Structure 1
Amino acid sequence: MKVIDISIAIIKNAQHHFLITLRPDASHQGGKWEFPGGKIEIDETPEQAMCRELYEEVGLTASQYQLFEKLFFDYGDKQLNLYFYLVEDFTGEASGKEGQPLKWVSKSQLAEYAFPEANLSVIAKL
C-alpha cells in the first residue's frame, strides 16, 4: 500500500481560535471536521504544500509557522504521513474556496466536533 504524504495547517488567530473546515461527505473521512490541508505534490516540500493548500482551500497566506507534529497513521484502507504546521500569523480573510463550510472555534470547542482519528492526538497536544 502506498503511503500518502499530507500537509496540514493548524491556523490560530489573535483570539486563540482555530480554523476548521468540513470534509465533503463523498471524501475519505467525509462529514468530519478538519484543519485545512492536502496531498503533498511530487515537486514540493511539506512546508510548500501546506502554504499552497492553505491558499487554495481557504484563501489565507501563512507568514509565521512551524512544524508542530509529524506522524504516521494507518486507517486500514489508507496509510498517511501527516505534517501538521502551527500557523500563528497569516494574511487574508478565510473563506471556503471549495464550497466547504468553515468556522473559528476555541481550543475547548475543538472537542465538540468530529475529526478524523488521525487528528485526535494533535488536538490533544494543542
Structure 2
Amino acid sequence: MGDDGQRKIVDVAVGILMQPDGSFLMTTRPAGKVYAGYWEFPGGKIERGETLAEALRRELVEEIGITIADVHPWKEQVVDYPHALVRLHFCKVHEWSGVFDMREGQEMRWQRLPTDVSPILPGALPVLDWLAE
C-alpha cells in the first residue's frame, strides 16, 4: 500500500517571456531550493483564490522585478517530482515593463533554440520541444 493517488497537486504558473526575435527568458533556481542552479522558466505557486494570471503577475514581480502585461495561457503539464506532484501552467508573455532584477540571486539568460544553458529543470524540457514545433 502506497500513497499513490493521495499526493496533492501543486498548481504552478510559469511565464515564457518571448521577445519579438523569438528569444525567451530562462532563469536559474535559487540556492536553497530543490534543484538549485537548474535552469527553468520563471513563475511560482498559484495561491488559494488567485487566478493563473494574478499568480504569474505576482510571482514575476517577486522573482524578477518586472510587471507583465497580458498573460496567454498556452500548455499544461503534470510533472511528478520526488518532492511534489506539480501541474505546470505555461503561459506566453510578450509585453512587460520595469527593469529585470533577480531578487532571489538567480541568473537570467535570453535563449534561442538550441539552448546553451544547463542543467535544465526536467519540467522545463517539454517547453523547448513545444517551442521548436
TM, length-normalised to structure 2: 0.84
Q: Are 2:64 and 1:47 equivalent residues in the alignment?
A: no
TM superposition shift of 1:119: 1.4
Residues 68-125 of structure 1 deviation map (CA, whole Å, 9 limit, x = unaligned):
1111111233100110111011112212022212121223225x43221111112210
Q: List alignment gaps of at least 5 residues for structure 2.
A: 1-6
Q: Are 2:122 and 1:117 equivalent residues in the alignment?
A: yes
Q: How many pairs are equivalent? A: 125
CA contact under 8 A between 2:53 and 2:71: conserved in structure 1?
no
Q: For residues 30 and 92 of structure 1, what CA distance do their matches in structure 2 show?
A: 26
CA contact under 8 A between 1:7 and 1:49: conserved in structure 2?
yes
Q: For residues 86 and 113 of structure 1, what CA distance do their matches in structure 2 show?
A: 22
Q: List alignment gaps of at least 5 residues for structure 1.
A: none
Please identify runs of 4+ aligned residues in structure 1 that moved more than 4 A. none
CA RMSD of aligned residues (A): 1.6
Structure 1 residue aligned with 2:100: 94
Higher radius of gyration, 1 or 2 = 2
Q: For residues 64 and 48 of structure 1, what CA distance do their matches in structure 2 show?
A: 11
